[in-house]
Amino acid sequence: MGASLSWYAVRGKTPEMVLRDFGLRRAVSKEYRHTPFRGGPLPNGWFVMIHGRHEFTSDEMRHLSSACEVVACFVEEHVMVSRSACWKNGVQVWEVTHDSEESEHHLDIRGEPPAGFGAIRDRLTKQQKEDDEDGCVDFIFNIPVDLAEEVTGFNHLGSSDTGFGNFVKPTFLQRLFER
């Protein structure tokens, strides 16, 4: 099985503000298995929210990045699509997308990616060219993922989420009675 998720790293808002922006609350133990939301703080000051089986949108990023910075990363390993983006104060700064259905070397770059982008792109493009004879691995897929990790220090495959908690969207009645 492959991953299908988006994760968001937020800097400049408290965890409570991030949960409010997502419309979430902390899950109680019986709700643990029924939520696609997981997240928590990173030691470097970012707060990460993982949303399973979801692709982030520009509207979400515009809303979430109000008065802060948000880096998001989407991975859909079943079809080898990855995308990362940075928004600050409601405005997109950069976005990098790979869609293997376009081509194995597809890479769409918008805005001004951070300084580390060139080295990541060059390293993984070189690996892709070396592997093209076998054609078994899509290294270009990792460019947006590695870029988001370089900026935030988080990767959905890493072990930095050991202290993360689970979150749920409250039902209408729970919101009504604040439970």
In the structure, what pLDDT confidence band is assigned to residue 172 with cuts at 50, 70 and 90?
confident
Provide, rounded to the nearest whole percent, the portion of the chain with pLDDT above 70: 93
If you average pLDDT over residues 129-158, what whole number do you get?
Answer: 91
**Angle 162-53-125 from CA coordinates, rounded to 5°:** 80
Q: Strand locations in 53-120, DSSP E?
A: 69-76, 81-88, 91-99, 108-111
CB 162 within 8 A of CB 41: no
Q: What is the pLDDT of residues 89-129, one digit of tens each?
A: 999 999 999 999 999 999 999 999 999 999 999 999 999 99
Contact 55, 6 (CB under 8 A): yes
The DSSP output letter for 169 is P
Query: Residue 64: is it exposed, middle or buried by C-beta count within 10 angstroms (0-12/13-18/19+)?
Result: buried
Q: How far is CA 30 from CA 25, 52, 137, 168, in A?
A: 14, 19, 40, 11
Give 19's contacts (C-beta < 8 A, 6+ positions apart). 25, 26, 167
Mean pLDDT over 28-36 rounds to: 74
Q: What is the DSSP letter of 48?
A: E
Digit-coded pLDDT (tens) for 156-170: 997 667 789 999 998
Does residue 81 have a pLDDT over 80?
A: yes
